[in-house]
């Protein structure tokens, strides 16, 4: 049997960090003297690398102003982490999904727009760092939907695209997978609507982690 690989997005798929992301972005805009976008707009940017998110949120801004927002966001998030104020728990039922897939012989990986430091922190806090054979972040790759991080995960696991699946909550995850012939599955508990995920090419959108587990192991 070929080696199967399940690649997960992190925030919005594995963990719930919505409140922290919105608060940090609002603080970043305030720190550079700008009115913050709506929380809906901020949520729409999740999944992109920070420079791409800043570009989406401040389309008329200069490169320097967007860069200042990126640095202010990093500072706000880092300050909250060091103060122990971040709450980024696993969504209920996700740990069971990871366990079931591992027991069924699947390899697991993460491909996320988060930084490596942020990803390492959240995986350690939630005690799942040892579950994954590959961790791919925005530090080392172009922003989603560019497929570089997904290709790196496939290479690490020694898996062909036809034997892999990308699981995520945004169109960026789905488009990234479709670009290189990897199956794409959406989840309904994250940042983009199920109809958007289907429109981007998802073969299925799981309403709950239990439904995701059942679909993958069917």
Q: For 118-171, how does the pLDDT look when each residue is reduced to its tens digit (9 = 90+)?
A: 899 899 999 999 999 999 999 999 999 999 999 999 999 999 999 999 999 999
CB-count exposure of residue 181 (10 Å: 0-12, 13-18, 19+): exposed
The structure's pTM equals 0.89
Is pLDDT at 187 greater than 70 in this prediction?
A: yes
Give residue 1's pLDDT band: very low, low, confident or very high (50, 70, 90): low
- At 56 the three-state DSSP class reads helix
Q: What is the pLDDT of residues 50-64, one digit of tens each?
A: 999 999 999 988 999
Element of type H or E holding 29: helix 18-31
Query: Would you say residue 87 has pLDDT above 90?
Result: no
- Quote the pLDDT of residue 86: 78
Quick one: CA dihedral 196, 197, 203, 206, positive or negative? negative
Q: 63-82 and 50-57 are packed helices; what angle lies between their axes, rounded to 10 degrees?
A: 120
**Per-residue pLDDT tens digits for 4-19:** 999 999 999 999 988 8
When the pLDDT of each residue in the chain is averaged and rounded to a whole number, the result is 94
Domains and CATH numbers, the chain: 5-16+88-217 (3.40.50.1000), 18-82 (1.10.150)
Q: What is the pLDDT of residue 19?
A: 85
Give which of 130, 206, 213, 218 is closest to 173, Cα–Cα: 206
The pLDDT of residue 61 is 86
Average the pLDDT over 192-196 and give the result. 96
Cα 25–Cα 27–Cα 31 angle in degrees, nearest 5 = 115
């Amino acid at each position: 049997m070929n080696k199967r690989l399940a690649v997960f997005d992190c925030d919005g798929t594995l963990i719930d960090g919505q409140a922290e992301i919105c608060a940090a972005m609002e603080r970043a805009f305030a720190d550079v003297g700008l009115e913050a976008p709506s929380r809906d707009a901020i949520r729409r940017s999740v999944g992109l690398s920070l420079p791409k998110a800043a570009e989406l949120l401040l389309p008329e801004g200069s490169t320097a102003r967007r860069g200042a927002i990126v640095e202010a966001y990093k500072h706000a998030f880092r300050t909250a982490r060091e103060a122990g104020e971040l709450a980024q728990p696993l969504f209920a039922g996700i740990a069971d999904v990871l366990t079931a897939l591992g027991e069924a012989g699947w390899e697991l990986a993460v491909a996320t727009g988060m930084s490596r430091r942020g990803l390492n922190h959240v995986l350690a806090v939630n005690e799942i760092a040892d579950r994954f054979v590959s961790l791919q972040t925005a530090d080392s790759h172009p922003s989603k939907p560019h497929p570089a991080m997904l290709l790196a995960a496939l290479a690490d696991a020694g898996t062909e695209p036809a034997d892999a699946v990308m699981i995520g909550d945004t169109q960026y995850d789905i488009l990234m997978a479709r670009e290189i012939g990897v199956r794409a599955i959406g989840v309904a508990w994250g940042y983009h609507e199920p109809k958007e995920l289907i429109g981007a090419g998802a073969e299925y959108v799981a309403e709950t982690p239990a439904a995701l587990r059942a679909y993958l192991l069917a």
